[in-house]
Chain A
């Protein structure tokens, strides 16, 4: 018997939590089908299909895509495609690089004792706890100072001038993602007995083979969680991207913010819905993969 009584308060609290977590998302999805193009109030679904878009004031009466009018609108938008491409490129590269660096850092902190170890450990927490805006400004300052100096020193002109862009965003993302990956991998390494590695070496495997054949397969679930966290952080990062992007490196969060400043059309909702769907499917896929992995191991 569970000694804890299930109190009605627990259920109420759970309902409140779920409401605040999911009501905005449900609302957001609902509004992506809104007939009103001002997106302030919900004016019902777009009722019918027709060859062309029929407007009645600010209300969309009919569209070639019917209720999915804003999705079609979105698909025709080249800026969105470009922003999505940028976002994914940045996320993939920065995830791979930060996962490698973060895993190496976690292994080093687990394995070796050195004088500066407490400092190294502490320095991992600092980027996590300081406000992102501070880090964004800091990185921007660093880049502009360096670019200013380099452009001058090497007389760079025209296209060869160093400027903010996808590269600077990617580097910044790597910088703030490494601590997260390190901490996640470190947590998984806590239970990793070093005798596995010793056993591998005892059986004749050198350091690299030991890592490849024993350590890596055993800590891979930890590395994967670190990578997934890093990927999602990169996908929806706004503040640091805002400071470090330049022409041609607009990401989805930056693009959405730009749309909001002009006019809020349900196109934003349609974009957000697609985005949520993609992330949701990715997480689901990962979960399925992990479950299968676990079943194989037990």
Chain B
């Protein structure tokens, strides 16, 4: 391979003119380096610039500023049909007037492959997505899941260096989507090619990705492994967007290299030894992020350090967990209690109005800039 990176976006800006005539940056100085063989996801809500970034890599849009490199080669205004990347579209974009076989053969014909080679490669690709025997059907005669597989096979049959996937599972129902997530990941590992995956579904991104770029308002908020973005979110946006978080306001009292002591008024206490994000200073107003599953509820009779009194305001039973909402001096905290024991008695659950202790372990929290 010519380059360590399959795809590189260097300081890329894409500006659009809105219908009102204003200029808007859909992608705002984005730099990403995607390694060969990596499963890389761009995660964000709609309008965050993830799809525009993908479309620029595919060549459907050109950057206003900056440059995109594929295998180390600057792409400039190279048209899509001269790029060694292939796309799986959100709408699948299967050619309705062609059969499954003809859809897959299309890309190979463009390469000038011979009839025998096309037959062999199409057959192999259909086998890979478990659609053998469907080659004479028209796309409309297939289920949504099957169409999705055809779209995948049509891109993969070209053996691209990089496969771009634009929310490919968005139209499938939950069960099928979860199956396909694991299948896609397995396929990617088996083929060893780079996948760039665009999604708004954080669970999907966490399930499949080697690395995730969390995007918002055209900017990359954080780039890291699933564990990094979940356990060490770079800022309040990421902490809020990926998973759920409780935010407690406070002031930094003292600061060491990677820990801080923060006074939290709602707990009326200074909590020591909390991990910190970058760029904080002593005396700064901050938020302390605590994941709901990392708080423990303790019976009122127990006495120990690091316990804070609260009152249950609501409980929601959702099967695997019970969500307990606790009021702590006016601050509302979410606590996920795992239902490890099978029980039916309502009295064995927390009830509204019950006084409880909350146990916060400082290592399980994170101090973040206020915004």
Q: Do A and B bind each other?
A: yes
| A residues contacting the other copy or chain, number (CB 8 A) | 19
Whether A202 is near chain B, meaning CB under 8 Å from some CB there, is: yes
Pairwise interchain contact A195-B89, C-beta atoms closer than 8 A: yes
Per the bound structure, the CA–CA distance linking A200 and B97 in Å amounts to 13
- Given the interface contacts A213-B106, A218-B96, A298-B140, does A204 sit within 8 Å of B81 by beta carbon? yes
Q: Is A199 an interface residue (CB 8 A)?
A: yes
Q: Is residue A131 within 8 Å, beta carbon to beta carbon, of the partner chain?
A: no
Q: What are the residues of chain A within 8 A of B93 when measuring CB–CB?
A: 193, 195-196, 198-199
> Would you call B154 and A206 a contact (CB within 8 A)?
no
Contact in complex: B154, A203 (CB < 8 Å): yes
B158 on the interface (CB 8 Å rule)?
A: yes
Chain B residues near A201 (CB-CB < 8 A): 59-60, 79-81
Chain B residues whose CB sits within 8 angstroms of the CB of A198 once the complex forms: 58, 60, 80, 87, 89, 93
Number of A-B residue pairs, CB cutoff 8 Å, is 65
Q: Are the CB atoms of B158 and A217 closer together than 8 Å?
A: no
A74: min CB distance to chain B, Å: 44
B158 touches A204 (CB 8 A): yes
Interface residues of B in 158-202 (CB under 8 A from A): 158
Contact of B106 among A200, A206, A298 (CB under 8 A): A200
Contact indicator A195/B140 (Cβ below 8 Å)? no
Contact flag A203-B96 (CB < 8 Å), given A198-B89, A297-B140, A298-B140: no
Given contacts A198-B93, A218-B96, contact A204 B140 (CB under 8 A): no
- A203 and B79: CB pair below 8 A? no
Name which residue of chain A comes closest to B97, CB basis: A217
Chain B 216-245, CB-CB to A under 8 Å as 1, else 0, gives: 000000000000000000000000000000
**B81 contact from A193, A205, A213, A214, Cβ within 8 A:** A205
Given A198-B60, A209-B110, A297-B140, residue A203 in contact with residue B86 (CB < 8 A) = yes
Chain B: residues with Cβ within 8 Å of the partner, total of: 26
Closest partner residue, chain B, to A199 (CB atom): B93
What A residues does B90 contact at CB under 8 A?
195
Contact with A along B69-89 (1 / 0, CB 8 A): 000000000011100011101
Chain A residues whose C-beta falls within 8 Å of the C-beta of B106 in the assembled complex: 200, 203, 205, 213
A218 to B140, CA, bound (A): 14
Chain A residues with Cβ below 8 Å from B60 are 198, 201
Give the chain A neighbours of B158 by CB distance below 8 A.
203-204
B91 is an interface residue with CB less than 8 A from chain A: yes
In the assembled complex, the Cα of A203 lies from the Cα of B158 at a distance in Å of: 8
Task: List A contacts of B59 (CB < 8 A).
Answer: 201
Closest to B84 in A: A204
Decide if B80 touches A196 in the complex (CB within 8 Å): no
Could you tell me the distance between the alpha carbons of A203 and B80 in the complex, rounded to whole angstroms? Answer: 8
Q: Name B90's closest neighbour in chain A (CB-CB).
A: A195
Per a CB cutoff under 8 Å, which of A195, A199, A204, A297 touches B111? Answer: A204
In the complex, residue of chain B having the shortest beta-carbon distance to the beta carbon of A214: B95
Task: Name the distance in Å between B78's Cβ and chain A's nearest Cβ.
Answer: 11
Find out whether the CB atom of A297 lies under 8 angstroms from the CB atom of B97: yes
| Cα–Cα, bound, A202→B94 (Å) | 12
| Complex CA distance for A198 and B81, rounded to whole angstroms | 9
B138 at the interface (CB under 8 A from A): yes
Q: Report Cα–Cα, A201/B155, bound state, in Å.
A: 12
A168 to B89, CA, bound (A): 49
**Complex contacts, A199 vs chain B, CB 8 Å:** 87, 89, 93-95, 154
A214-B95, A218-B97, A297-B96 known; A202-B140 Cβ under 8 A: no
Residue B309 is within 8 A (CB to CB) of chain A in the complex = no
B114 CB to closest chain A CB, in angstroms? 16
How long is the Cα–Cα vector from A209 to B110 in the complex, in angstroms? 9
CB-based nearest B residue for A195: B93
Interface string of B138-153 (1 = CB under 8 A from A): 1010000000000000
CB-defined contacts of A204 to chain B, threshold 8 Å: 81, 107, 110-111, 158
Q: How far is the CB of A279 from chain B (nearest CB, A)?
A: 29
A210 (CB) vs chain B CBs: closest residue: B81
7 example contacts (A-B, Cβ-Cβ < 8 A) are as follows: A193-B91, A195-B89, A199-B93, A200-B95, A201-B59, A203-B86, A297-B140
Please report A residues at the B interface, Cβ cutoff 8 Å: 193, 195-196, 198-206, 209, 213-214, 217-218, 297-298
The 3 closest A-B CB pairs, nearest first, are A204-B110, A203-B107, A199-B93
Additional A-B contact list (5), CB under 8 Å, known A195-B89, A204-B158: A193-B93, A201-B60, A203-B86, A203-B154, A297-B138
